[in-house]
Amino acid sequence: QVQLVESGGGSVQAGGSLRLSCAYTGYSYCMGWFRQAPGKEREGVASVYTVVGSTYYAYSVKGRFTISQDNAKNTLYLQMNSLKPEDTAMYYCAARRLYAWDSNQCNLQLANFDSWGQGTQVTVSS
């Protein structure tokens, strides 16, 4: 069973940076980051097909956020640069234990993921 524990959230001014971490147990074919702002639906931010390392990014964060994984530490990261007020949300780490035979099954759709962390809050002020 996969367990996911996020950390690294906080408050930052626009233009600043944060790095989120997700400590995990067990193996997952896909891992990703999602976010949910108040009154909005949860949306995908970045994901990785762990078998080959291919990644997906939401258009709104491409070029600013980077997803990475340290298998030796069992930790998934999300480096967030040039943060904007619209990035304010609860950020969730997600994983897919179900077999994924290609990277398309790791794209930023909620249904692709079957395990979720509790979330870490990111607040960006203008």
Determine how many CB atoms are found less than 10 A away from the CB of residue 40: 9
What pLDDT digit, counting tens, does each position of 54-73 carry?
Answer: 999 999 999 999 999 999 99
* The pLDDT of residue 5: 97
* The pLDDT of residue 1: 74
* The pLDDT of residue 2: 81
* The pLDDT of residue 84: 98
Q: Pick out the chain residues at pLDDT < 50.
A: none
pLDDT above 70 coverage of the chain, percent = 100
* The pLDDT of residue 81: 98
b/e per residue 65-103 (b: at least 16 CB within 10 A): bbbebeeeeebbbbebeebeeebbbbbbbbbbeeebeeb
